[in-house]
Structure 1
């Protein structure tokens, strides 16, 4: 005979497994492997260039390029744009909390390995 707690545990596990695919669809900003569709965070020291968002709030970025972004208060973060190509990336979606990149959009170029 099963105890009520083991039945509850099995039911909970089944619900978690059933809900897992729905969580992926709800996120919408990640590939199925969990990686961001925009690329990945990087170390500021690895950036090929620094973009001051006060002067250039809509920079053009080459696909695969690692760029450091500088905000109004001097804060910085870096990102490698190796997710989906040919799109605008709202920097508020990838910036660390409190960075303040409300209206900044990076335009990512074409992935040279894609033949179209």
Structure 2
């Protein structure tokens, strides 16, 4: 009986350790690339979004968007794991946005179900 109890305790400790490390890991793959895509050139952008005039942003996976805040801009291509909502601050340069925004990324038309 104690053999099973110690195995259960070890399993619980291992699970807790894995969960703790998962929550403290940065939002990047092992190769350093972001889970949310990456910076891109403004020439590749399909649209420009003024972050001061929106409450949320809708994008399709693979979209490249230039974001504007006053005279500052940056361009991002969204390649999001599991097509999840992205906290805009995770992709924007530090200090770029003065308010909280969410980018809702959906599958694009060419992706399989």
In the TM superposition, residue 80 of structure 1 has moved relative to its aligned partner by: 0.3
Kept in 1: contact 2:80–2:105 (CA 8 A) = no
For structure 1, list consecutive stretches of 5 or more residues without a partner in the other structure: 1-23
Question: Counterparts of 2:98 and 2:84 in 1: how far apart (Å)?
Answer: 17
Question: Counterparts of 1:59 and 1:79 in 2: how far apart (Å)?
Answer: 13
Correspondent of 2:65 among 64, 67, 83:
67
Q: Secondary structure at the match of 2:65?
A: strand
Kept in 2: contact 1:70–1:76 (CA 8 A) = yes
In the TM superposition, residue 54 of structure 1 has moved relative to its aligned partner by: 1.4
Partner of 1:34: 32
Q: Secondary structure at the match of 1:54?
A: helix
Question: Counterparts of 1:83 and 1:101 in 2: how far apart (Å)?
Answer: 23
Which aligned segments of 4 or more residues in structure 1 are displaced greater than 6 angstroms?
Answer: none
Matches within 5 A, 1:102-113: 102-111=99-108, 112-113=110-111
Question: Counterparts of 2:98 and 2:46 in 1: how far apart (Å)?
Answer: 20
Q: CA RMSD in A?
A: 2.0
Partner of 1:82: 79
Question: Counterparts of 2:30 and 2:54 in 1: how far apart (Å)?
Answer: 33
Partner of 1:93: 90
